Structure formats: structure tokens, C-alpha cells
Structure 1
Amino acid sequence: MKWAATAASALLVPANALLRFPCAQLVIDRVDPLVNPGLSPSPHIHQILGGNSFNITMDPAKDMPNESTCTSCQFSEDFSNYWTAILYFKARNGTYKRVPQFPNAGFDGVNGGMTVYYMQDGLYNFAQTSKVQAFKPGFRMYIGDVNAKTREQAERFRQLTFTCLDTIGTRDPQTLDFPEAPCKTGIMTAVRFPTCWDGQNLDSPDHMAHMSYPESGTFESGGPCPASHPVRMPQLFYEVMWDTSKFNDKADWPEDGSQPFVWSFGDGTGYANHGDYLFGWKDDALQRAMDSPCYVNCPTPKTQNTQAMNACTIKPRVNEDIDGWVKELPGGHQAQYVKRR
């Protein structure tokens, strides 16, 4: 898939926008139309948010916004789909239980899900003065490596991190692997996508090659895009709040005291953290938002209340236990751990 980009299309009017908003849980299901299109069930279970036209194929030729009748996100013109793997706790007796999620600061009452950001500059840059081009219809991307088992492999994606939460507002320090001690309030995972587009392809075989991190520095430091990927896009950023506090009794942890959390595909290191995205904003709603001066509380996109967000759900395709204690992870996975350093 390609998009004919011109130099003029990348020259946007000055703007200063940062969107921060919650999306409630659309469904928890073993479906992944980006990495495993058409396959049901997919190899591991995900939490999925956004427009209710989500399905096992997500044909890029179709108009997602017009096919959806609701969205689980606060901005009612955002029918995109966002998803990540699910976090599990492995008890000393070898059984697993899904770790519940809780809403981020300021979003009380939202059912699970996560917080989504679209930024023109770093999160703490209140000016937000850089120019960005919004994603185009049919655009999709993935970040991370489901097979990563070492720090070196994880460092390829330097902005996928974990934070051990002392309070809901804790943001540092950030690590590339799971915290090794109980966290008072929970664990936050952060997924920051690349911000430089090649200007042509809406997707690529690995769902990553059409995007790039800055040539030097980082998005937050204003690093320039490489010549191969010259178009600066918004930073898409997920924050997921996992209520691991329910599992802080060390008597339930492995006898050797090692951390007990594992991704739904079996990774017990945390290095394989990853995220998926399918663009689905209606018409030019995202570009208008990016071109409008605002910081977090942005009035340009239409909004809906928490009740409407929570009400937008779909039924899972795969009938399996997602809340009880299970002997193996959905899909037959078992926790895999390696020595970390």
C-alpha cells in the first residue's frame, strides 16, 4: 500500500497540540488482524480498544470509520484500533491469572483499556510547536519484538518501558524489563511508536519498515528524521496501568523470589513488550486536532462521556476463560524466563 506524498503535503501550518485521552476495553480476545490476519484464534490473547468494526482481517481497502458504529475511546471521531498483549501473574503453584487494569490519573470510571497520546513534541514540552502530518487512511504499524529475550534485543526499541508505580503519578525510573520487586500501586507499561514515515507506504511486511525513529537523538529531543523516512508524524504513545498490587504477597511468588509476571505469549522477561495500531480517525479529525493549539484538554475533536466509552464493546470470537485461574496461558503458552542483566 502506498500514499502519494508531496513536499507540500508535509508543510503544515504551525500548531501546538498534544492529545491525551482514555480508551475503554473493546474486547479481550485471541485475535490479531495485523500480525495474523484471518487467523482465529491467533497465537496469543490481546486487549483491544477503539472502533467496533474490529475483526480478524481488517481489510485496509475498507473504510473503518464508516463501518464502526461506536468507539471505546473518548474522542468519538476516533475509530482507530489499539491493542497490546495481556499481562498475567504466575503463582508459585504454576497457575496463571490475568492481571486487571485500572484507569490512569484523571480518567476514573473508564473500564480497563489504556491512555493514548498523540504528540507533536515530547510529553513535557508544553509548547508543542513542531509540525506533524497525521496518519492516512489505511495506515497501520507495529512496534516491538515478540521474540525478544535479551536487553540487547529490547534496546532496538528503546522506548518500550516499564515503571514500578509507587503512586498513580509515578513515571520514573523506567526499565526495559519487568520490575523485580512488588510495586505498591501497580506496573505501567509504556509503548512509544516511531515518528518518521517514508512518505509512501501505509504498511510494510513487518509492519515497521515504513516507519523509523529519528536519525539522531529522540523524538523528545527533537531529533531529525532520516532521509529515508522524511515525514514527521505524531508520536503515538500508550500507557497501560496493570493492577499488580493484587499479587504483592511474596508468599505467592516463585520460591527463589524472582518476579512472577509474564506476557500472554509466555515472555517472563518483559523484553518482548509490543503494541499494534490501525488508524481509523474519521475524515480529517486527527489533522484538525494536530493543527489546533491545545494541551491535553483539546476541544477540537468531538468527545463522548465515560458511559458511552464503556458501552462500546464487541463479543470475543474465542470462548476461553479470561478471568479465572488457569493451568496454561490462552493458546497453550507457558512462562519462559531467561537470566536477566
Structure 2
Amino acid sequence: MKWISVALGLALAAPSQAYLRFGCATLSVQRLDPLVEPGKVPSAHVHQIVGGNAFNATMDPKIDIGNKATCTTCSFTEDLSNYWTAVMYFKARNGSYHRVPQYPNALLGNLVGGMTVYYLQQDFNTNKQKVTSFKPGFRMTVGSPTSTKDGNPGLRYTCLQDVMTRFPETADFPKSPCPAGIMAIHHFPACWDGKNLDSPNHQDHMYSTGKGGFVAAGACPSSHPVRMPQVALETMWNTTMFNDKSLWPADGSQPFVWSYDDSKGYGTHADYVFGWKGDALQRTMDSTPLLSNGLKTQSVAEANKCNVKSSVNEPIDGCELMGLFLCCDNSRRNMN
């Protein structure tokens, strides 16, 4: 089975179709964060990681992971980049934590967990401006686990009525049970300073002119004049097994938390390390339409086979969160 890029819906599509959309299966779920906490095993909290198998605790920016990785969980075999976000947990009324499983987005087949990745020019339908590919060694983050209020229109949630639901979006976790789960959305900034492949906080070398959703982004400022691809991630979290409100907190508050113990959801964040092979991404950004241009694909089964071993020997499914790190205790797995 070959994957093809598709629109979210006919209302969002136009003949130019200036974007890539593809799936990436889960590569690993563990406490590693080579950007924020390089070399630290374990890192502060659990992440779900997709992409190439060069992912590890220490990713030297001088090493091109597009050449180092030997497989990828993504549909395009030339994309050996890594993308990761925190992991969602359900906090039961008795105080125990249970990892929320993921499921594939629409039209992605039997993908194992993972997420949907987008590369856009300015929006879904604009393919008229020069977009410069990321370079080997490039990395960035969006959002911060310490955020306690809404500060980025590109970080959102959708309470799914079915797998195709896309609106409305909220800045915090949905307050009521969602019939088809919760979709977490991360839009990275797309304006580059043209000089630095990274910055101390992994954000200052980039600037966001996004307005939320997949609408047209604003022009890049003079401080960050280079338009790069707009990278966006969608993760489908299958919360349906936790929709029984008798398991929810007695006060009726929503029970989902990120792995760094954020129950509001404002601290949602994501990380990106560029790893496309050669000029594949630039070639694609230069093409019209963006959908194809000869990118090599692999089957869902092949993508599902790619993985990395965990560097952290601990259970991650039934846990307790203590401070800003996740400490697992098998004795507290029951919700009742």
C-alpha cells in the first residue's frame, strides 16, 4: 500500500494543493529529549517520537541524520527527520495514571500510533513564493511545558466527534468526553533568521507569523526574512476508553494531563530535527503542485517496522507523575 497526500476536506483544497500531508508511525515512546536535555537519560518527561532511527539521547548537530538513519516511520522514505511531543495520560479518580493510546489519522491505513505531518508553503493553496528548505543540523521547538496560559494560536486541541472533525479548536483540553478522542495540533514557526540552525532556547532563530489553523501566514519580518516550510503535526489520542465520567475527578474537571503533569494543556509543545535526504525537501518545495515531485514512498507495513530501543528501563503505561518527571509504579494501575 502506497500513501498519497490528501486534503483535510474539499473545502480546504484547491487545484494548486500547496502542501504535503503524510503519516509517521511511532518510532519510540520514552523519556528522551536530545534538544532540551541532550545526553540526559532519562529526560524530565515521556515523549512520543516519530521519524528516522538515528534518534538518540545525544544528537550532534554536526551529524546529518538524513545520512545516518537507516529507516524511517514516515511514508516518505527520504524524510529521516525526527518529530516528538509529550505523551497524554488519563488521571483516574483514585490518582493513578494511564497512558492514552494513539490511533492513525484518516486515510493513513493501519499506521501504529504516531502522527500526521504537514509541510506547507503559506497555506493549503498558496504555491507562489520561494520557500527555503531547512538545512542539515537544523532544529527547533514550539511551545513550552512551563506555559500556563494561551500564547500561541498554532497550539490547539480538537474534541473529535469522528476521525474527520477539524473544528472548533481550543487552547486548552476539552472539558467534556470526546466521542472519537482528542486531536493535539502543533504548528511550528516558518520564518528563519537566515543564519542560525539553532538557538539556545531552540526558538529565537525562528519567528511565527501564523494565525492559527491552516490559514495564510503573515509576511516574515526583517529580523527573520527567510520563509521556510510551515511544519505542522496532528496527533490523534484515543481517549474514548476513558469517557466514563464515573472515573473522572469528583468535581467533574477534565482528567487528561500531559506527561509533565499539565492538566490545562497550555504547556503543549513539540520538537523537530531536520533529516531529509539530500535536496528532497527543497526539490519538493520548488514543485507545483507540492503533492508529488517524485518523492519515494514506502508501505505502512514497512514504516511500522522501523523503531529504536528504549534507553530507559521503566514502564510507561500505568504511572504516577511526581514533580516534572514521570515516575512509574506498577502497583497503581487500576482506575477504580
TM-score higher than 0.5 here?
yes
Instruction: For 2:176, give the aligned amino acid.
Output: A
1:331 aligns with 2:326: yes
Deviations 1:141-198 (A, max 9, x none): 0010110112xxx22x221000000011111110110000000000001000011000
Match of 2:186 in 1: 191
Query: Is 1:17–1:291's contact at 8 Å kept on the other side of the alignment?
Result: no
Amino acid corresponding to residue 130 of structure 1 in structure 2: Q
Residue 60 of structure 1 and its aligned partner are, at CA, apart by 0.5
Q: Deviation at 1:66?
A: 1.7
2:100 and 2:239 in contact (8 A); partners too: yes
User: Match of 2:158?
Assistant: 163
Letter in 1 for 2:319: V
Residues of 2 paired with 1:42 and 1:128: CA distance?
40
Alignment of 1:87-102 (within 5 A): 87-102=88-103
CA distance in 1, matches of 2:320, 2:276: 40
Aligned residues: 312
1:1-341 equivalences under 5 Å are 17-123=18-124, 125=125, 127-150=126-149, 154-155=150-151, 157-214=152-209, 220-294=215-289, 296=291, 298-323=292-317, 325-328=318-321, 331-332=326-327
Distance 1:264 1:217 in 2: 24
3-state secondary structure, aligned to 2:241: helix
**C-alpha separation in 1, matches of 2:256 and 2:136:** 37
- The Cα shift of 1:221 comes to 2.8
Contact 2:319–2:326 (CA<8 Å) still a contact in 1?
no
Letter matched to residue 170 of structure 1: T
Kindly state the Cα deviation for residue 19 of structure 1 after the two structures are TM-superposed. 0.6
> CA separation in 2, counterparts of 1:215 and 1:313?
33
Alpha-carbon deviation of 1:259?
A: 0.1
* Residues 18, 123 of structure 2: 8 Å contact kept: no
Tell me what 1:336 maps to.
Answer: none
CA, structure 1 residues 179+238, in 2 after alignment: closer, same or farther (shift >3 Å)? same
8 A contact 2:154–2:211 mirrored in 1: no
RMSD: 2.0
CA contact (8 A) 1:31 1:39 kept: yes
Task: Label 1:264 to 1:216 Cα distance change in 2 as closer, same or farther (>3 A).
Answer: closer
Structure 2 Cα separation of the partners of residues 290 and 202 of structure 1: 19
User: Normalising to structure 1: TM-score of the pair?
Assistant: 0.87
Q: Tell me if the contact between 2:283 and 2:293 (Cα under 8 Å) persists in the aligned partners.
A: no
Q: Is the 8 A contact 1:16 1:129 kept in 2?
A: no
Contact 1:288 1:300 in 2 (8 A): no
Contact kept, 8 Å, 1:92 with 1:254, in 2: the verdict is yes
In structure 2, the CA distance between the partners of 1:299 and 1:305, relative to structure 1 (3 Å rule), is: farther
Once the two structures are TM-superposed, the CA of residue 266 in structure 1 deviates from its matched residue by 0.7
Q: Give 1:299 deviation, angstroms.
A: 4.7
How far the C-alpha of 1:320 sits from its partner, in A, is 1.2
State the percentage of identical aligned residues. 54
- Assess if the C-alpha contact under 8 Å between 1:162 and 1:190 holds in 2: yes
Whether contact under 8 Å (2:80, 2:276) holds in the other structure is yes
SS at match of 2:26: coil
> Partners in 1 of 2:141 and 2:210 — Cα distance?
19
> How has the CA–CA distance of structure 1 residues 237 and 217 changed in structure 2, closer, same or farther, with 3 Å as cutoff?
closer
Equivalent residue letter for 1:319? N
Q: Which runs of 5+ in 2 are unaligned?
A: 1-15, 329-336
Secondary structure of the residue aligned to 1:294 is coil
CA contact (8 A) 2:260 2:321 kept: no
Give the counterpart letter for 2:72 in structure 1.
T
How far residue 131 of structure 1 moved from its aligned partner, in angstroms, is: 2.2
Runs of 4+ in 1 over 4 A off after TM superposition: 215-219
Shift of residue 295, structure 1, vs aligned partner: 5.2
Contact 2:284 2:290 (C-alpha < 8 Å) held by counterparts: no
Letter of the structure 2 residue corresponding to residue 252 of structure 1? L
